């Protein structure tokens, strides 16, 4: 073998070796691990039957106390069934991917009572999204006070405890500021918190 042919063979061997190294890096260095990706995308499952714990909650009395809350969670669909004073029970469906949902208006959630909000429509539109491990629902509402329109937003946050036995719902009301000064805008209310304990099957 001539010296020139030997140099060509060595050069070809280096090229093949480099290609192999690139292939190995592609396979072992940059390919995401399925188990790790699945773990990062996993979200809490709220499915279960839940009962309000009055001692750990700061909401007012209800006309239908001690009625369990039933949740069927098949992400992105979250279906909540709870008792209402009018017709026994009602379903509320939320979508965690932010597409938006429309549900019947049956109560002013942030008051902790079963009284319907004065001037409220028969249906309420909301938007639901994940924020880390919390599920956040936003509802924009409007009420009329003294002939003036008052707009505000109710923000509900749902969080499941690490042991899966406690579900917390925090409701916050944020009032829109009236720049004209034509109507009194109340200060933001303190957060209302409901703590639910899981009911054994």
- What is the spatial distance between Cα 197 and Cα 199, in angstroms, rounded to a whole number? 6
Query: What pairs with residue 23 in β-bridges?
Result: none
Is pLDDT at 120 greater than 80 in this prediction? Answer: no
Say if residue 181's pLDDT is above 80. Answer: no
Alpha-carbon span 125 to 109, nearest angstrom: 14
Q: Which CATH number fits domain 40-198: 3.90.1150.10, 2.40.128.20, 3.40.50.1980, 1.10.490.20?
A: 2.40.128.20
Q: In the predicted model, is pLDDT for residue 116 greater than 80?
A: no
3-state secondary structure of 173: strand
**Which one has a higher pLDDT value, 109 or 86?**
86
* Cα–Cα distance measured from residue 163 to residue 79, given in angstroms and rounded to the nearest whole number: 22
Instruction: Kindly report the pTM of this predicted structure.
Output: 0.69
**The pLDDT value given to residue 41:** 67
Encoded tokens for 167: 């579900």
The mean pLDDT of 11-17, rounded to a whole number, is 50
Least confident segment among 7-16, 79-88, 103-112: 7-16
pLDDT at 164: 97
Rounded to the nearest integer, the mean pLDDT of the chain is: 76
Beta-strand relationship, 77-82 and 48-52: unpaired
Question: pLDDT class for 82, splitting at 50, 70, 90?
Answer: confident
Domain ranges of the chain: 3-31, 40-198
14: its two tokens = 């280096």
């Amino acid at each position: 073998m001539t010296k020139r042919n030997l140099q060509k063979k060595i050069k070809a061997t280096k090229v093949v070796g480099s290609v192999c190294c690139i292939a190995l890096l592609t396979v072992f260095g940059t390919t995401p691990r399925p188990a790790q990706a699945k773990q990062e995308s996993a979200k809490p499952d709220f499915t279960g039957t839940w009962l309000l714990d009055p001692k750990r909650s700061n909401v007012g009395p209800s006309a239908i106390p001690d009625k369990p809350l039933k949740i069927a969670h098949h992400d992105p669909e979250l279906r909540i069934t709870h008792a209402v004073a009018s017709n026994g029970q009602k379903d509320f469906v939320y979508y965690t991917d932010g597409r938006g949902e429309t549900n019947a208006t049956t109560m002013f959630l942030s008051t902790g009572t079963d009284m319907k909000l004065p001037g409220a429509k028969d249906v309420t539109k909301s938007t639901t999204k994940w924020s880390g491990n919390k599920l956040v629902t936003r509802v924009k509402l409007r009420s009329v006070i003294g002939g003036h329109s008052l707009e505000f937003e109710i923000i509900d946050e749902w969080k499941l405890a690490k042991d899966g036995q406690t579900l917390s719902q925090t409701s916050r009301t944020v009032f829109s500021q009236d720049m004209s000064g034509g109507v009194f805008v109340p200060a933001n209310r303190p957060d209302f918190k409901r703590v639910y304990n899981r009911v054994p099957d």
